[in-house]
Amino acid sequence: MKKKHLYLLIATLTAAAVLPIIILVCFSSANEPQRPVTIIYRNTEYAYKEFLTGCVLSCLKTLDEPPADDESEGINAVAVALDCSLRYLHRAGKSFDSGYPYVEYMDEKESIQHFGAETGIYRKYAEHSAEYAISLNLTVQEGTAFLPVCRISSGITISPEDSGNPLVKKLYCEKDRSAEYYHSTCQLTADGIAEIMLTAYPSLIIPPDESKWISDIRRDADGNVLRLNVCGIDMSCEEFRRLFDIRSPAFEMSYTQRLYSFDIRGDGCNSGMSVYSALMLSKRGYSCREILNEFYAL
């Protein structure tokens, strides 16, 4: 066989062998959930790994003491859930810091103010878990999904039907009633409520009876608020909490002398994974994947 024909045959066979690989790689790339290089959060740009690290730190800020090695798998599970949620928000074209769902980020200045001299310890675990989550690259359903994380649950999570997220599980979680963030109170003045509502709904006509401005509270079977009426606007508990900075849907409310008072249990969305519970499971020897499977239908 002439050399020219031989070279042509080799080239043809090589192309035939390589083409399926190229097609497969292109297909995989098209379907693989894309992770942004940077994230814009409150008008500041962060590298993805740094932002994920800050989100993990935000979830750890209710701990009474720095994490230990036997809690690493729990922190990894938190980072994996956050990474999946960030990729979901990116893919869906949603904002990372407004609307619902959203994430919370702790920057370097805030972490130093909160953790003080122990900042380095917290950051070491957060960075390691962020690296782990990025390397794991968990895919769910079509590739990504929002996997909610709450720092300290009220002991009971919201059902997938009530939360609107089929991936979460209804659970009775570990809880620490002595934790600083487990029980809290806050108050909203009538003037403050009116100002916030008119900012969010400029054409709103405020009803005259202030005592009924927050009414028609609907709860699930365990008492977590699902929906309520605020100044004539029917809204989800998520929107209400976002507007008025109410940390958990597990709350009781009272009104007296132009003042709304809230008695709140827990800290977080009460849907999905409780950070406190995840760390407890980690101490018992659960792996990251086992912890994720406890809270989500993956």
- Secondary structure (DSSP) of the chain: --HHHHHHHHHHHHHHHHHHHHHHHHHHHHHSPP--SEEEETTEEEEHHHHHHHHHHHHHTT-SS---GGGHHHHHHHHHHHHHHHHHHHHHT--SSSSSS------HHHHHHHHGGGHHHHHHHHHHHHHHHHHH---BTTB-----EESB--SBPPPHHHHT-TTB---B----TTSTTTEEEEEEEHHHHHHHHHHH-TT----S-GGGSEEEEEE-TTS-EEEEEETTEEEEHHHHHHHHT---S-EEEEEETTEEEEEEESBS-SSSEEHHHHHHHHHTT--HHHHHHHHB--
Whether the Cβ atoms of residue 237 and residue 228 lie closer than 8 Å to each other:
yes
Whether the Cβ atoms of residue 270 and residue 158 lie closer than 8 Å to each other:
yes
- The pLDDT of residue 193 is 98
Using 70 as the pLDDT threshold, list the residues of the chain that sit under it. 1-33, 99, 142
Residue 45, in any domain of the structure: yes
Which residue, among 295, 268, 74, 289, has the nearest Cα to 168 in the 3D structure?
A: 295
Residue 95, in any domain of the structure: yes
- The pLDDT of residue 21 is 39
Taking only the tens place, the pLDDT of each residue in 138-173 is: 998 767 899 999 988 888 899 999 988 999 999 998
Residue 25, in any domain of the structure: no
Residue 29, in any domain of the structure: no
Residue 169, in any domain of the structure: no
- 286 and 243 both lie in a single domain: no
Whether the Cβ atoms of residue 195 and residue 183 lie closer than 8 Å to each other:
no
Which residue, among 245, 269, 264, 244, has the nearest Cα to 254 in the 3D structure?
A: 264
- The pLDDT of residue 46 is 97
- 123 and 55 both lie in a single domain: yes
Before 20, cis peptide (omega within 30)?
no
- 214 and 248 both lie in a single domain: yes
- The pLDDT of residue 33 is 53
- 211 and 134 both lie in a single domain: no
- 105 and 241 both lie in a single domain: no
- 261 and 285 both lie in a single domain: no
- 55 and 136 both lie in a single domain: yes
- 124 and 55 both lie in a single domain: yes
- 91 and 127 both lie in a single domain: yes
Residue 129, in any domain of the structure: yes
Residue 103, in any domain of the structure: yes
Cα maximum dimension of the chain:
101
Please name the residue that has the structure tokens 């009924």.
Answer: 212
Domain range for 242: 183-265
- The pLDDT of residue 81 is 97
Which residue, among 297, 298, 289, 296, has the nearest Cα to 136 in the 3D structure?
A: 289
Q: How many CA atoms lie within 13 A of 37 on its CB side?
A: 0
- The pLDDT of residue 200 is 93
- The pLDDT of residue 1 is 52
Instruction: State the total domains in the chain.
Output: 2
Taking only the tens place, the pLDDT of each residue in 249-276 is: 999 999 999 999 999 999 888 899 999 9
- 138 and 189 both lie in a single domain: no
Length of the chain: 298
- 57 and 136 both lie in a single domain: yes
- 70 and 205 both lie in a single domain: no
Residue 125, in any domain of the structure: yes
